[in-house]
Amino acid sequence: MKPQERTLITGIEQQGVYAPVPFDAEHPGPARLRFLGTGTSAGVPILGCRCAVCMSDNPRDKRFRTAALLDINGARILLDAGPDIRQQLMPLEFQPIDAILLTHVHYDHVGGLDDLRGFCVFGDLHVYADEITSDGVRRTMPYCFTDKLYPGVPKVNLHTIHPHEEIDVKGVKVMPFEVMHGKLPILGYRIGNLAYITDMKTIADEEMHYLEGVETLVVNALRWEKPHHSHMLIDDAIAFARRVGAKQTYLVHVTHQVGFHDEAESRLPADIHLAYDTLEIEL
């Protein structure tokens, strides 16, 4: 664990709040990825569940819907914006978000877009999504795409993107690639030595080219047992990490069935980690 990580974790566990590192655009320092959420579509605890994990008082067993924030070379990139995004971003320093990269159209990944309206004080929200997701956003937020906008609505600049067509965010190159969420094609993102994937079940062989040289892999891993039609299990994710050859892998989009965080982490190989909300890593 890096010293910076230890400082942040101590602040969380002892004070119950996240004390972010101030963002300095002129001197950005190393790239940093913050895990804003690491849970599945229902989050953890699950509403109405009284299992031991859902009743745990360990902060690492509390999981918002999966999302992350990347600070890299002076660019601030949000990966997904689910229904918890307001709570996830509230403890952080209020700074512009240069791009919002959406992985797919499901509510737990896009349901909080409207809550980002406060960031419009810095300018339009630049949202990047594939065609299916772009169409879905227009249907669920039609008030953002009319000729005459109602005062106060978020100003969304929606960019429809495609796999294998590189995009540029303040000089940072982002390569979208395709994975399959069951039968639904969705996007993963390659940014430098990072690959960010959530909700994957399978990936075509021809997509693996875009993962060559990845050092840090973020990938979904639902639970230990009971196969799911559209999500990988933990063993699947470990096998995929071996296929990619990543130096470090962080598992996200996990359910309460993974068990207590600390116990689950102890079962994993040394280079595979169970990510938790507010964890920050350097890339």
Mean pLDDT in order along the chain per 10 residues (283 residues): 33 35 56 98 98 98 98 97 98 97 98 97 97 98 93 95 98 98 98 98 98 98 97 98 98 98 98 98 96
- The pLDDT score that the predictor gives to residue 30 is 85
Report the alpha-carbon distance of residue 174 to residue 178 in Å, rounded: 13
- The pLDDT score that the predictor gives to residue 26 is 58
- The pLDDT score that the predictor gives to residue 173 is 97
* Residues whose CB falls within 8 Å of the CB of residue 141, separated by 6 or more in sequence, listed in order: 113, 114, 154, 156
- The CA-based angle 64-230-179, given to 5 degrees, is 90
pTM over 0.75: yes
- The pLDDT score that the predictor gives to residue 18 is 34
- The pLDDT score that the predictor gives to residue 167 is 97
- The pLDDT score that the predictor gives to residue 179 is 98
- The pLDDT score that the predictor gives to residue 116 is 98
- The pLDDT score that the predictor gives to residue 106 is 98
Report the alpha-carbon distance of residue 61 to residue 79 in Å, rounded: 21
